[in-house]
Amino acid sequence: MTEPQRARAVFSTEDFQLLRTAVAHYAREIGELPESSKYAHLLHRLGRVR
């Protein structure tokens, strides 16, 4: 039997910094819209990725 291939990372560490910056900008742009809390939570989760 062959062993399954190891999963490769889709995003680099630098990519997460770019995503955090983009999401933070968008969250500021949409301000108080109902979905803004979802972007705030996403930004928090992205901040935990190292």
CA 36 to chain centre: 15
Q: What is the pTM of this model?
A: 0.74
pLDDT band of 50, cuts 50, 70, 90: low
Q: How far is it, in rounded angstroms, from Cα 25 to Cα 47?
A: 14
Q: Who's near 36: CB < 8 A, 6+ residues apart? A: 27, 30
Average pLDDT over the chain, rounded to an integer: 90
Give mean pLDDT, residues 7-18: 90
Residue showing tokens 């108080």: 32
pLDDT confidence of residue 4: 86
pLDDT band of 43, cuts 50, 70, 90: very high
The helix or strand, by DSSP H or E, that contains position 25, with its residue range, turns out to be helix 13-30
Residue 35 has pLDDT above 80, yes or no: yes
User: Cα angle vertex 48, ends 21, 9, to 5°?
Assistant: 85
